[in-house]
């Protein structure tokens, strides 16, 4: 079973926004064994949408479209959808009731024609009821292809994918299994690694595919197995990973089953009943924000002191002004004090502190732009490391956050 | 002049990574008046790549391809590129010298055949020299279409786009002007806004297009003008924006994507020499993180207390346990105390506090999932408002952040 994902909207084609919907949908389909063969982003003009539909008709089994379902004039997907299926728009009672309730009941204003039009759907469409927004999803079929149109607002799209589409596809179609296993390696470059594992790679079973995903300082190796028997796939991957572990034992640092690090860290803290606090300067609260983006974070995360100004470091965290005077706010002495203080004040097992100069200007210290100090306090030791993450500001902040979480992750495993 | 952007790699199609390259390239092309009509993500199999090239041949003037240029077996773009142009691979001396220097000089290990193969390029290709990596970019032409192949590593791609491709395109082709102006509005929903500006929208000049970009709590209106005379486009957009400002004066909070609300608020605070602090519970530090994402935030932002756990509200902010007992942590009494405390402790002109239940579980309070209290303290008053932002968690957090910044923005203007 194959799928194409189509995003509609000029905001993507002019680079104003990054399309994150396609990736979300592809991952959800991949998990149930549906292979996405192509993703497309196209303009919100009727002729482009129609010619794309025609091209995908009978070429793939499933087309999922996001975007262009809003109530305004630039939203043409619904009308075009209707044209493609030679159908007419009719008002859906359930949707109209929901929209009316939302506008009149929650927003407390009279419902307008534009609002009412949100309830129009092609007469032959199976309506995917959107509890979290006003635009419904629509499911239509023609010959060998299912076309599903979804709103582009990410949380509305996610709701419909998880609650409506995936369950319906799982129930209706038999699908093969697709298993992935990603092995994280640190230190060696892509080409050196490839040489060392060449024989292993050449002898992989035909249904197992290897991909190299390099990024600065690390290479992820992704094994993908496709087939009808889940057990056979699982065993094959296990055997191949075992061989690889013998081949490059010092390069493998872990297995990344595509969970973001804040979730992995959260699960570990939860499991081991450890608590965490952060004292953030250059990261400005981003570590706290990532940690608390995970449901249930209140079980292990107590809080953060975002001490952006030097005086906040003194007044809130009690960092000694003499220490700051002597070493400057961007120093290993200060970051260690920050971590100690927040750990003590919030009484946690682990604490992270960051201080640095993200730029573009030098600010309150003499440190070069890009200089960052990270401290992680664990039940058994105090770690302080210095980095230079270069420029621009955004990259310095992101790399600091990633590095801090990576250090934390490795330390939780040891404790 | 039209372009297609093609990304190659199964990691995108299985949702393992989000494609950010296409957006970057589209924005760079848009700035020089080249219209991207389609973006595609395809599998790294030879037959898919070839059929995509064939389909785009003579349909657009420019095809920019990223990915699949690495040294390993799963990297097939270069070979396929060569096949499509019926060319042969030859070793490029300059590239070979650069790769050798990198491997032997910097990494201090003997160069291997895999490394040397990085210097192979189709004999007819114009080589785009990649100073920041090992894989060169390649520029080939066939009939009316230019094909450019770039490495997928983002900073290598960006280097070649900025240093090689854009300058070459600017020099060689005459292009129309494309101007965008984005107007940010807060508070009103998309459909209500659309009704209020309907007449204005209907009377836009034919070369000016309007798009609505809604997200929780705000709508961005993007005007796009295309034409040969830059001055005419500029004037037309200025006139239309002027009309809009008269039409919805209270809804517009800023212009352009370079002015997200945290930047607008930052500029105002800076200008009026006001300072800000935040006490965040359900937003988990996201307000602080947005505020500090703006360079120069240290001029007006002192810090944040992210009091995620109830005990942190008591220990850090000194919120009275009796108050929490009586009203629960999600209450207007507690949020007001949080704002007062952080303002006092960090000695700022303005303070924001948030508390709420973002879900999915009820947590430490009896409040419904989605219930949020926001307090904003200004030099002249104390504001406390209650909201229900529904579900899911992600939306509750985002809407709380946006609403808090919107209240702050309006209050700064009054003071």
Q: How far is A359 from chain B (nearest CA, A)?
A: 7
CB contact under 8 Å between B291 and A284, yes or no, is yes
Q: What is the pLDDT of residues A206-247, one digit of tens each?
A: 999 998 887 765 788 999 999 989 999 999 999 999 999 999
**Which of A9, A16, A103 best probes binding to B when mutated, by most B CB atoms within 10 angstroms?**
A16
Is residue A365 over pLDDT 70?
A: no
**What are the structural domain ranges in chain A?**
2-172, 178-255, 261-414
In chain B, residues with a C-beta closer than 8 Å to the C-beta of A25 are 15
Is residue A47 over pLDDT 70?
A: yes
Given this model, what pLDDT does residue B374 score?
A: 98
**Which of A211, A296, A356 best probes binding to B when mutated, by most B CB atoms within 10 angstroms?**
A211
Mean pLDDT, range A369-394, rounded to an integer: 90
Q: What is the pLDDT of residues B170-200, one digit of tens each?
A: 999 988 888 989 998 887 888 889 999 999 9
Rounded distance between C-alpha atoms, residue B407 and residue B352, angstroms: 9
Given this model, what pLDDT does residue B254 score?
A: 76
Q: What is the pLDDT of residues A345-361, one digit of tens each?
A: 999 999 999 999 988 77
**Residues of chain A above pLDDT 90, percent:** 66
CATH of B2-172, one of 3.40.980.10, 3.40.640.10, 3.30.70.890, 3.20.20.70: 3.40.980.10
Given this model, what pLDDT does residue B48 score?
A: 92
In chain A, residues with a C-beta closer than 8 Å to the C-beta of B315 are 345-346
CATH of A178-255, one of 3.30.70.2860, 3.40.50.300, 3.40.50.10130, 3.30.365.10: 3.30.70.2860
Is residue A68 over pLDDT 80?
A: yes
Given this model, what pLDDT does residue A362 score?
A: 67
Given this model, what pLDDT does residue A137 score?
A: 96
In chain B, residues with a C-beta closer than 8 Å to the C-beta of A289 are 283-286, 288-289
**pTM flag (> 0.90):** no
**Over A335-358, what HEC string results?**
HHHHHHHHHHHHCCCEEEEEEECC
- Across all residues in chain A, what is the average pLDDT? 91
In chain B, residues with a C-beta closer than 8 Å to the C-beta of A20 are 18
Q: How far is A84 from chain B (nearest CA, A)?
A: 20
Sign of CA dihedral B179, B185, B190, B193: negative
**Over chain B, what HEC string results?**
CEEEEEEECHHHHCCCCCCCHHHHHHHHHHHCCCEEEEEEEECCCHHHHHHHHHHHCCCCCEEEEECCCCCCCCCCHHHHHHHHCCCCEEECHHHHHHHHHHHHHHCCCCCCHHHHHCCEEECCCEEECCCCCCCCEEEEEECCEEEEEECCCHHHHHHHHHHHHHHHHHHHCCCCEEEEEEEEEECCCHHHHHHHCHHHHHCCCCCEEEEEEEECCEEEEEEEEEECCHHHHHHHHHHHHHHHHHHCCCCEEEECCCCCHHHHHHHHHHHHCCCEEEEECCCCCHHHHHHCCCCCHHHCEEEEEEECCHHHHHHCCCCCHHHHHHHCCCCHHHHHHHHHHHHHHHCCCEEEEEEECCCCCCCCCCCCCCEEEEEEECCCCEEEEEEECCCCHHHHHHHHHHHHHHHHHHHHHHC
Q: Select from A14, A214, A288 the Cβ nearest to the Cβ of B27.
A: A14
Q: What is the pLDDT of residues A283-339, one digit of tens each?
A: 999 999 999 999 889 999 999 999 988 999 998 899 999 999 999 999 999 999 999
Rounded distance between C-alpha atoms, residue A78 and residue B47, angstroms: 33
Given this model, what pLDDT does residue B383 score?
A: 96
- Name residue, tokens 């479209």: A65
Given this model, what pLDDT does residue A72 score?
A: 79
Q: How far is B384 from chain A (nearest CA, A)?
A: 19
The interface predicted TM-score (ipTM) is: 0.74
Mean pLDDT, range A97-117, rounded to an integer: 86
In chain A, residues with a C-beta closer than 8 Å to the C-beta of B345 are 315-316
| Homologous superfamily (CATH) for B261-414 | CinA-like (3.90.950.20)
Nearest residue of A to residue B311, measured between CA atoms:
A302
Q: Select from B11, B30, B393 the Cβ nearest to the Cβ of A222.
A: B11
Chain A to chain B Cβ contacts (< 8 Å): 322
Residues of chain B with confidence (pLDDT) below 70: 256-258, 362-365
Q: How far is B295 from chain A (nearest CA, A)?
A: 7
CB contact under 8 Å between A39 and B363, yes or no, is no
The CATH number that domain B177-255 falls under is 3.30.70.2860
**Residues of chain B above pLDDT 90, percent:** 67
In chain A, residues with a C-beta closer than 8 Å to the C-beta of B266 are none
In chain A, residues with a C-beta closer than 8 Å to the C-beta of B182 are 16
Given this model, what pLDDT does residue A125 score?
A: 96
The token pair at A391 is 């420029």
């Amino acid at each position: 079973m194959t799928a194409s994902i189509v995003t509609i909207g000029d905001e993507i084609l002019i680079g104003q926004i990054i399309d994150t919907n396609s990736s979300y949908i592809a991952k959800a389909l991949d998990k149930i064994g549906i292979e996405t063969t192509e993703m497309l982003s196209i303009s919100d003009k009727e002729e482009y949408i129609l010619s794309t539909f025609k091209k995908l008709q009978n070429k793939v089994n499933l087309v999922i479209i996001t975007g262009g379902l809003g109530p305004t004039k630039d939203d043409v997907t619904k009308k075009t959808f209707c044209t493609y299926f030679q159908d007419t728009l009719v008002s859906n009672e359930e949707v109209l009731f929901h929209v009316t309730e939302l506008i009149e009941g929650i927003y407390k204003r009279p419902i307008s024609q534009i609002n009412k039009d949100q309830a129009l759907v092609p007469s032959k469409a199976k309506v995917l009821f959107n509890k979290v927004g006003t635009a419904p999803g629509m499911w239509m079929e023609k010959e060998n292809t299912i076309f599903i149109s979804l709103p582009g607002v990410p949380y509305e799209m996610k709701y419909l994918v998880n609650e409506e589409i995936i369950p319906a596809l799982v129930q209706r179609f038999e699908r093969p299994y697709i298993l992935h296993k990603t092995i994280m390696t640190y230190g060696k470059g892509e080409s050196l690694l490839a040489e060392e594992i060449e024989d292993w790679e050449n002898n992989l079973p035909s249904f197992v595919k290897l991909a190299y995903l390099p990024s600065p300082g690390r290479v992820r190796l992704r094994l993908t197995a496709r087939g009808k028997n889940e057990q056979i796939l699982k065993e094959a991957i296990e055997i191949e990973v075992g061989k690889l572990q013998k081949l490059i034992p010092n390069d493998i640092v872990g297995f990344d089953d595509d969970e973001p690090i804040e979730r992995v860290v959260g699960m570990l803290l939860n499991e081991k009943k450890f608590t965490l606090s952060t004292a953030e300067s250059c990261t400005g609260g981003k570590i706290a924000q990532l940690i608390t983006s995970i449901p249930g974070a209140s079980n292990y995360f107590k809080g953060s002191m975002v001490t952006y100004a030097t005086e906040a470091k003194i007044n809130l965290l009690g960092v000694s002004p003499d220490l700051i005077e002597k070493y400057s706010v961007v120093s290993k002495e200060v970051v260690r004090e920050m971590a100690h203080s927040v750990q003590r004040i919030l009484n946690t097992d682990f604490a992270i502190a960051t201080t640095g100069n993200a730029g573009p200007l030098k600010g309150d210290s003499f440190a070069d732009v890009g200089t960052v100090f990270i401290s992680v306090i664990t039940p058994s030791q105090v770690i302080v490391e210095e980095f230079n993450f270069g420029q621009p500001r955004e990259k310095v902040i992101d790399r600091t956050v990633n590095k801090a979480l990576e250090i934390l992750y490795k330390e939780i495993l040891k404790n």
